[in-house]
């Protein structure tokens, strides 16, 4: 057949699918038409899952999917389906699990799964395959030939295999169900596991490749908060401090433009996979703020500021939502946009700037990336000053000037592609991060950015009283998932603490009601990843552990506890408690993989403190500053002006009794209202003293 000029993906909005719209492969998006055709022709479905910033997805596309001979074989023997894992995490979760069941190892992207069209059951799974055999890997066509032969000639084995896979999925679900409860000892077990996985030399957990794992670091920070005056507490804080220092000084962090890359290919955090994901930066931003609050180290604050500024500059759409990713590749190569030669840097900088930059980034040593330099911090400011015989203040000025010149020069290079679809769940994470950073760093522009993004979600992704998962080019689509609802509620609660706006909390309550109605497992507890009116798939997943993003069940339990205590709605607290009990078996098997669930567990066992401040703008602003001194992860502070239009639930019973009135509750137990700033300050100081004893 002759290569087609375009295929069915040309009508999609996903940048990843559009990257494949002119392949000679006769791609379908995931749809009924593809399944019907596969059944009519009795051909297996070749399901290929990836995302637009995925380097190895690009490699496989160039080697195989753009090759007319490979495409011809695919088209003759398979019905080929392309899926963007960021738009369809429901499918990705199912078939990543299938990959693990079939191969007994973790998957990744590109994920290539071959499915029996008659029951949606996969009978082959793999990730990247080269066009020709190499490095002990078979060539892609060779793999496809074996699969096609098996499908044609082994129908009975295929049926038996299908039953076995379905049984395995049902056992996974049954094994996760529990009617017991998980105790506080799981919190200590999780930290023990993380301490064992911790790399004391380079920071982080495990060996190469190294991922940021922000939920693990949040869990360590919470452990420190519970054990501040004990050895275990100091060790937990050291893990956070050392790991973040290593990341922000290493190649995982963009030393010129800000923002973190997805992961490091080495144990030293030196060379990253160069894609930048919104969700990584959304989670690392509030973590940096919290570690700064805990340690007072200026570097964490500075990096938080730079990361927030990068999000606004590079990732926020003019309309308000946050874009998904920046690609790793540009000009046909990975990392090309970010790396330097000595000659390039010398030409851009003055002589004095060059000397400090050479020392700062180790440009007098060996290149670290394919004959060029990917910048990382090789020497501190004081060390450079001593080495060059100049004042540290002058070193900082020269570094700042040099950084501006280099960033400006880099900006003239061809930029990596940006995936401009707007995902509800990732926006929820980012709204929370920006609001958290804005209120603790005193950056009103960060808070405004978060408000603008939430308004965008409500205007574009909230339709007919339901959330949708994604929007791009004016097209809003796909039924929203558990993460979309849970992360957005979490974002609203954080934004309400940064600045009260009428209607926001009511929106969070609407979302919570849909969670209970459409996602909850009413029999066992917990929440499914898809709603009860979602497309029926091979498996309805109930996610328990954290991946690159937190578990939707963990965040749902946390926000329902907070909403329940805040509004007095006991149904929310009971649903959170039932979630924790339902997933206790999974937590007990591997506690540290369930950080978000464990943080919800901590708030269930030791309910957090809710402080509602009522009064004039000046009075509540000053009182809020008192409440936000230091790291207090289980404290919710709402500063509600006296002209607020409506207060839901229990909040409607609160009254302004003086220029400032503070209502302080722990769980369902509330103190007498505090009516002066001095009284509030005295309460907070007394509580801090008691907590440290």
Confidence grade of residue 492 (pLDDT, cut at 50, 70, 90): very high
Spans of all domains in the chain:
8-176, 185-330+419-605, 338-412, 609-692
Q: Which pLDDT score is estimated for 2?
A: 46
Q: Which pLDDT score is estimated for 230?
A: 85
Phi, psi dihedral angles at 330 (to 5 degrees)? -155, 155
Fold of 8-176: Glutaredoxin (3.40.30)
Q: What is the pLDDT of residues 630-655, one digit of tens each?
A: 999 999 999 999 888 878 888 988 88
Task: Please check the confidence at residue 3 and state whether its pLDDT lies above 70.
Answer: no
Q: What is the pLDDT of residues 71-110, one digit of tens each?
A: 999 999 999 999 999 999 999 999 999 999 999 998 999 9
Confidence grade of residue 218 (pLDDT, cut at 50, 70, 90): very high
Confidence grade of residue 1 (pLDDT, cut at 50, 70, 90): very low
CATH, domain 338-412, list 3.40.50.300, 1.10.10.10, 1.10.3720.10, 3.40.1350.10: 1.10.10.10
Task: Please check the confidence at residue 531 and state whether its pLDDT lies above 70.
Answer: yes
Q: What is the pLDDT of residues 285-337, one digit of tens each?
A: 999 999 999 999 999 999 999 999 999 999 999 999 999 999 999 998 999 99
Find the DSSP H helices in 463-612.
Answer: 482-498, 504-514, 552-567, 570-582, 584-589, 595-605
Q: Which of 181-195, 302-316, 504-518 has the lowest mean pLDDT?
A: 181-195
Rounded mean pLDDT, 356-367: 94
Q: What is the pLDDT of residues 156-187, one digit of tens each?
A: 999 999 899 999 988 877 555 665 677 889 99
Same fold, 8-176 and 609-692: yes
Q: What is the rounded distance in angstroms from the CA atom of residue 257 to the CA atom of residue 338?
A: 10
Domain covering 609-692: architecture: 3-Layer(aba) Sandwich (3.40)
Q: What is the pLDDT of residues 135-158, one digit of tens each?
A: 889 999 999 999 999 999 999 999
Average pLDDT, the chain: 94
8 Å CB contact between 469 and 480: yes
Fold of 185-330+419-605: Glycosyltransferase (1.50.10)
Alpha-carbon distance values, 676 to 371, 625, 661, 670 (Å): 64, 14, 7, 17
Alpha-carbon distance values, 119 to 35, 82, 479 (Å): 10, 19, 23
Q: Which residue shows structure tokens 């008691």? A: 690
């Amino acid at each position: 057949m002759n290569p087609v000029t375009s295929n069915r993906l040309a009508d999609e909005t996903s940048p990843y699918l559009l990257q494949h719209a002119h392949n000679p492969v006769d791609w379908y998006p995931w749809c009924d038409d593809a399944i019907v055709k596969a059944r009519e022709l009795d051909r297996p479905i070749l399901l290929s899952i990836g995302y637009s910033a995925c380097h190895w997805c690009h490699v496989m596309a160039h080697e195989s999917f753009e090759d007319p001979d490979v495409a011809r074989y695919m088209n003759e023997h398979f019905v080929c389906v392309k899926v963007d894992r960021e738009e369809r995490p429901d499918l990705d979760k199912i078939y990543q699990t299938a990959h693990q069941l079939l191969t007994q190892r973790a998957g990744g992207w590109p994920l290539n799964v071959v499915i029996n069209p008659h029951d949606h059951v996969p009978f082959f799974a793999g990730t990247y395959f080269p066009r020709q055999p190499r490095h002990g890997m078979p060539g892609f066509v060779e793999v496809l030939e074996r699969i096609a032969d098996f499908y044609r000639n082994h129908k009975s084995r295929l049926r038996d295999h299908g039953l076995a896979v379905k049984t395995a999925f049902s056992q996974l679900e049954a094994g996760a169900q529990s009617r017991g409860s998980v105790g506080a000892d799981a919190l200590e077990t999780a930290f023990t596991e993380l301490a064992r996985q911790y790399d004391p030399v380079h920071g982080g957990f495990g060996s190469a490749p190294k991922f940021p794992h922000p939920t693990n670091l949040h869990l360590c920070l919470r452990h420190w908060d519970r054990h501040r005056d004990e050895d275990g507490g100091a060790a937990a804080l050291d893990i956070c401090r050392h790991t973040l220092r290593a990341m922000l000084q290493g190649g995982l962090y963009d030393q010129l433009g800000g923002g973190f890359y997805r992961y490091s290919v080495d144990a030293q955090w030196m060379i990253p996979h160069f894609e930048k994901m919104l969700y990584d930066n959304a989670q690392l931003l509030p973590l940096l703020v919290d570690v700064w609050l805990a340690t007072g180290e200026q570097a964490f604050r500075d990096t938080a500021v730079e990361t927030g500024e990068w999000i606004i500059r590079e990732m926020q759409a003019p309309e308000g939502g946050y874009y998904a990713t920046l690609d790793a590749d540009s000009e046909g190569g990975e990392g090309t946009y970010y790396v330097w030669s000595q000659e390039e840097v010398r030409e851009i900088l003055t002589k004095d700037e060059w000397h400090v930059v050479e020392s700062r980034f180790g440009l007098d040593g060996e290149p670290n990336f394919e004959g060029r330099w990917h910048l990382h911090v090789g020497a501190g400011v004081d060390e450079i000053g001593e080495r060059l015989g100049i004042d540290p203040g002058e070193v900082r000025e020269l570094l700042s000037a040099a950084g501006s010149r280099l960033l400006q020069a880099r900006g003239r290079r061809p930029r990596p592609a940006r995936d401009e679809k707007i995902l509800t769940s990732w926006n929820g994470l980012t709204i929370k991060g920006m609001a958290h950073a804005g209120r603790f760093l005193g950056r009103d522009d960060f808070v405004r950015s978060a408000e603008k993004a939430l308004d965008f979600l409500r205007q574009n992704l909230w339709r007919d009283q339901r959330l949708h998962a994604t929007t791009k080019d004016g097209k809003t689509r796909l039924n929203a998932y558990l993460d979309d609802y849970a992360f957005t509620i979490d974002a609203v609660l954080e934004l309400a603490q940064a600045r009260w706006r009428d209607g926001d909390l009511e929106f969070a309550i609407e979302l919570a009601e849909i969670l209970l109605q459409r996602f909850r497992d009413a029999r066992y507890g917990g929440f499914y990843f898809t709603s009860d009116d979602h497309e029926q798939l091979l498996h309805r997943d109930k996610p328990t552990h954290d991946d690159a993003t937190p578990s939707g069940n963990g965040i749902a339990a946390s926000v329902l506890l907070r909403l329940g205590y805040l509004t007095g709605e006991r149904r929310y607290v009971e649903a959170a408690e039932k979630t924790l009990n339902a997933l206790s078996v999974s937590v007990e098997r591997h506690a540290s993989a369930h950080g978000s669930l464990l943080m919800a567990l901590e708030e269930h066992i030791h309910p957090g403190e809710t402080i509602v401040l009522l009064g004039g703008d000046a009075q509540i602003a000053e009182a809020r500053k008192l409440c936000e001194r230091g790291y207090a992860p289980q404290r919710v502070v709402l500063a509600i002006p006296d002209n607020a239009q409506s207060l839901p639930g229990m909040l409607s019973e609160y009254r302004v009794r003086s220029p400032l009135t503070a209502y302080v509750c722990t769980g369902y137990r509330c103190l007498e209202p505090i009516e002066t700033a001095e009284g509030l300050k005295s309460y907070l100081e007394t509580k801090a003293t008691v907590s440290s004893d």
